[in-house]
Structure 1
Amino acid sequence: MTVIDEPLAPVDPDRFRALLRRQAASVAVVTAAGDPPVGFTATSFTSVSLRPPLVSFCLARSSSSWPTVAGAEHIAVHLLGANQREVAQTFATSGINRFAAHSGWRPGPYGVPLLDEPVAWLLCRVTDRVSAGDHAIVLAEPLTGHHGEGSPLLYHMGRYAALQPTTKES
């Protein structure tokens, strides 16, 4: 067991961010129908429950996407592949029309934008929004989805990364 023999430092926002950068996370783009539609890159996507199926993601309530997501009945979550770094960057860029900057999408059920060629996507019905600090936790029930092939895009230490293929030992 490691003993900490230094004074305990408070976890302020900068230290919290530095600590959480050490956690590798899958990269997702969440989209919602609107006029215009919205989409944003999220690394907070996670499964919540199998029975019933539920997923969640977090979104800052100060985000330009929040007003649309706050009223959306349906959203889509796209798990990006290792070859989709540019898609992740586009949907993480503030102050641009993300759907004009990324032409690889089509309207899906309920008008929710569906991106081309993610590793997997889920079309979901929003079931709840929970206020949590300066963010909201959005809970959603998957209604349908699809998965393809490929390695996921990850985010770690402020950079996009991909899994390295493993070699089978003899």
Structure 2
Amino acid sequence: MTGTLHAQAALGPDRFRSLLRRHAAGVVVVTAPGPAGFTATSFTSVSLEPPLVSFCLDRRSSSWPAVERAGHVAVHVLAEAQEHVARRFATSGVDRFAAPLRWRAGAHDVPVLDDALAVLVCRVVERVHAGDHAIVLAEPVHGEHRDGQPLLYHDGRYLKAA
């Protein structure tokens, strides 16, 4: 291992966030009927049989009430050219669905964003409260994808795949 590990006795929120910034992640936007949506890097596959995915959301966020009551959500894997979409859905106090963003009502009235690398429309199967967040488990029921490279997030910055 190269580099030096720096240990600290207390692991407060700022230090925890700093540690997690070392992990590179794909960037998704999760949408729910309303419309509501948010940017997340906590998306992951959970199971193949049955197919399940998960994402996490702060229960104090403006999107939580819509996700809390939604029967279905859409997870959009963003393409490398969609940093502007990631930033819009990570910004509070704006109309995230306003033009020039292009989107349509998909199955189960879930907003589907145009130009995403992949879209999974999912049935929410469980919400687990974990600290100040909720872990949402969802079963993909429809999906579509296109060729391209994903948008990544690492150390507080959006990056393009090499």
1:73 to 71, 74, 93: 71
Unaligned runs of 5+ in 2: none
TM-score by length of 1: 0.90
Partner of 2:9: 9
Inter-partner Cα distance in structure 1 for 2:102 and 2:9: 46
Change (3 A) 1:145 1:79: same
Q: CA deviation at 1:10?
A: 1.7
Q: TM-score, normalised by structure 2?
A: 0.94
3-state SS, counterpart of residue 63 of structure 1: coil
2:128 aligned residue (130, 141, 161):
130
Equivalent positions of 1:98-113 (< 5 A) are: 98-113=96-111
Give yes or no for contact 1:87–1:102 (8 Å, CA) kept in 2: no
CA shift in 2, pair 1:5/1:48, >3 Å = closer
Which has more radius of gyration? 1
Cα distance in 1 for residues equivalent to 2:9 and 2:75? 36
The aligned counterpart of 1:62 is 60
- Report the Cα distance in structure 2 between the residues aligned to 1:161 and 1:113, rounded to whole angstroms: 25
How far did residue 101 of structure 1 move?
A: 4.6
Q: 1:41 aligns with which of 39, 45, 69?
A: 39
- Deviation string, structure 1 residues 61-105 (Cα, Å, up to 9, x no partner): 000000110000000000000000001111111001100155310
Match of 1:167 in 2: none
Q: In structure 2, what residue type is equivalent to 1:134?
A: D
Task: Provide closer, same or farther for how the CA distance between residues 158 and 5 of structure 1 changes in structure 2, counting only shifts above 3 A.
Answer: closer
Letter of the structure 1 residue corresponding to residue 61 of structure 2: S
**Structure 2 equivalent of residue 149 of structure 1:** 147
